[in-house]
Structure 1
């Protein structure tokens, strides 16, 4: 056991408090937003890797997971999620790839879609994380704290786009109950949180502008300004908007010449992992289940009791051995 009794009790108290009270999420608009213009994206076809993808990987590479091996399954599962041998995979979201460019053909037209976290205004992932590992930042981005994430994947389950990805063999669960609780750590885009706190743009935005200049796919800035720009262009150019209403509103807007219903239909037909459903309701705005929280609390308290009992038993056995 690599965690002290005091440390475990402190963690248990913090987690249980989070479970009982819930992760209160203020439905604030957020300071920043991103506009992604699909009429301009060509997927960087002339380059070995899309600029936005490369920039994200380069900027965040020091934060990528380094799993302890061999990785053991945790009860009752007999499997685990390990992407560490697929670190170079760039055509989907992984714990090592937080943005990718999706391609879909519609009526003979190629459409390229940069995909990453939508950074919802009232994110279900933040409210539903049982360990309080997700937070909604004042800048409008949602962030996973990898120091306290157990990798339970609740965030992925409640995300309408299933964005967060899990890597086993890393995280706090290894120090507490590696065989019985956890699963790793969840990873996703956080909008280069350190950069935007300093008033700088995310790496993907800068990389795209360096390639395309004034015709860049990404536009990042004040939320109100971004929304006004998107609505104005949609009206003037007959474009379709995505992200303004989905899941109660997000900090990521898309513009397209093709209706997003068609885009989502094509993605479904191709059986893509990541789709773009149009009618996405924010479930946490319409219902809140305190009983579920209490059940989680009960389960965690039982687990905590078992671990604490094991710690005391181990100490007692050691003291009896020393006395002999």
Structure 2
């Protein structure tokens, strides 16, 4: 594939615009949070699928990726991430499964932890995305714009929990540079963004039969979690991790012990306790300039790679003609 001059500048305008246009909104609206009481979660024993998982999949099924095959490697890499043959997998996070229930054995207790995006107060995924595909909404949740995402996975790299998951063979890059740019699109929980904007409750919260989830205005949720923790001797997770989040967990055992178990069992998703936030300040004009510079550098790199690839192809054709 050859990139024309027009295509190059169209691509540049698209990416640069996404990088420098402020996409976060801080309107005066309700901020929400969730606390997840794992003292009440039994993993939906007896159910074929945990009800929160089932509800999430049903709510978001129309937004799941439908990759175009054959999927080309993420050039210059020779591999790609394809979960399309594992759509029914519910024991981990995938582009088709945005919440799962993690089982741990700690201090003689069996605990079940519903795991999904934490929706950080100062989300590294939003700050670190070079294409502006992620935004933090006024309600406190972070959202991926699948129409802008190039699947570079920077969001997953900077997330302390590595939540976003990538599916190749979908996304904007297929229309622009299908052979050279982008790894696909990243997917994760957005806290049922369309629902909460209408004043409705996330699907996972409604579906839970044991009232494991409590969803409401942030101040109320934090207050209830702190009161429960103090009254019942429970431990809290998510209020300080990564600078604070909109997702709190209540546990009968320390989260250090939970994470030790996850480390020992080589779990794919952990719960580290001491997590500093590397992007604690809001993006300022200097930061936006750095993002724009990064985008332009990436674009220049793509262009250079295309030129080199084109030159290599031309040389190879000359060699082929000489051999003939």
Give the TM-score taking structure 1 as reference length.
Answer: 0.86
Q: Secondary structure at the match of 1:285?
A: coil
Counterpart CA distance in 2 for 1:92 and 1:4 is 42
Q: How does 1:1-150 map to 2 (within 5 A)?
A: 9-19=9-19, 31-150=31-150
How far 1:24 sits from its partner (Å)? 6.8
Correspondence 1:303 to 2:302: yes
* Cα pair 1:23 1:128 within 8 Å, conserved: no
* Cα pair 1:151 1:182 within 8 Å, conserved: yes
Q: Which of 249, 260, 265 is the equivalent residue of 2:260?
A: 265
* Cα pair 2:166 2:184 within 8 Å, conserved: yes
Going from structure 1 to structure 2, the CA distance change for 1:196 and 1:29 (only over 3 Å counts) comes to closer
Going from structure 1 to structure 2, the CA distance change for 1:277 and 1:106 (only over 3 Å counts) comes to same
Going from structure 1 to structure 2, the CA distance change for 1:99 and 1:77 (only over 3 Å counts) comes to same
Counterpart CA distance in 2 for 1:162 and 1:195 is 25
Going from structure 1 to structure 2, the CA distance change for 1:148 and 1:21 (only over 3 Å counts) comes to closer
Gaps of 5+ in 1: 311-324
How far 1:46 sits from its partner (Å)? 1.4
How many residues align? The count is 306
Give the TM-score taking structure 2 as reference length.
Answer: 0.86
Counterpart CA distance in 2 for 1:297 and 1:113 is 41
Going from structure 1 to structure 2, the CA distance change for 1:95 and 1:2 (only over 3 Å counts) comes to farther
Q: How does 1:92-241 map to 2 (within 5 A)?
A: 92-208=92-208, 211-212=209-210, 216-241=211-236
Going from structure 1 to structure 2, the CA distance change for 1:33 and 1:24 (only over 3 Å counts) comes to closer
How far 1:102 sits from its partner (Å)? 0.1
* Cα pair 1:44 1:50 within 8 Å, conserved: yes
How far 1:62 sits from its partner (Å)? 0.7
The alignment's C-alpha RMSD in Å is: 3.0
1:164-218: CA deviation from partner (whole Å, max 9, x where unpaired): 000000001111112211010000000111100000000000000xx23xxx000
* Cα pair 1:148 1:172 within 8 Å, conserved: yes
Q: Secondary structure at the match of 1:95?
A: coil
* Cα pair 2:122 2:282 within 8 Å, conserved: no
Q: How does 1:260-299 map to 2 (within 5 A)?
A: 260-285=255-280, 293=291, 294-299=293-298
Q: Secondary structure at the match of 1:69?
A: coil
How far 1:299 sits from its partner (Å)? 2.5
Gaps of 5+ in 2: 310-324
Q: Secondary structure at the match of 2:186?
A: strand
